[in-house]
Amino acid sequence: MQSTAASLDILIVNEFLYLSTISNSKVFMTNTPANVAQTVRGVFFILVFYLLGTVLSTWMGHLVPGSVIGMLLLFFSLLSGIVKPESVRSVAHMLTSTMSLFFIPAGVGVMLYWNVLDENKFTIIAACVVSTLLIIGTVGSIQEHFEKRAHRG
């Protein structure tokens, strides 16, 4: 299982590097030194945070996927100003414009573990229903709170 996860990580990184060369984003279409430097800097930041997340995930015993930890680290770095949004904007635009391709490894994972999913389908459905209801309730409560706050202030 560990080697499969590592293979998928390598596939995602290779796919990311390939997509960065064929993206239809204007930044990637103009190969001026400034745009190339900005793109390299953005790829560097994203891959460094991905690597940090993977290392932390390994250290924590894979409780949370490394990519999720890396994304959270990048998010908080952007919020705190450690990383400037302009540094990753062009790469983030390319990634979101080609996001559908990133579901291919997830689809492969579903097909690889179809028997496990089939054995646990009722547990998975129950978890999805309960978590959806909790999310709807939480979002509704937060929205109500902000609406009351807006009418008071």
Binned at pLDDT 50, 70 and 90, residue 34 comes out as confident
**Calpha distance 13→7 (Å, rounded):** 10
pLDDT higher than 70, residue 1? no
pLDDT reported for residue 146: 93
pLDDT higher than 50, residue 100? yes
pLDDT reported for residue 94: 87
- pLDDT tens-digit profile of 44-59? 999 999 999 999 999 9
Greatest distance between any 2 Cα atoms in the chain: 56
Residues with Cβ within 8 Å of 91's Cβ and at least 6 positions away in sequence, in order, are 20, 39, 42, 43, 46
pLDDT reported for residue 16: 59
Domain boundaries along the sequence of the chain: 2-111, 120-153
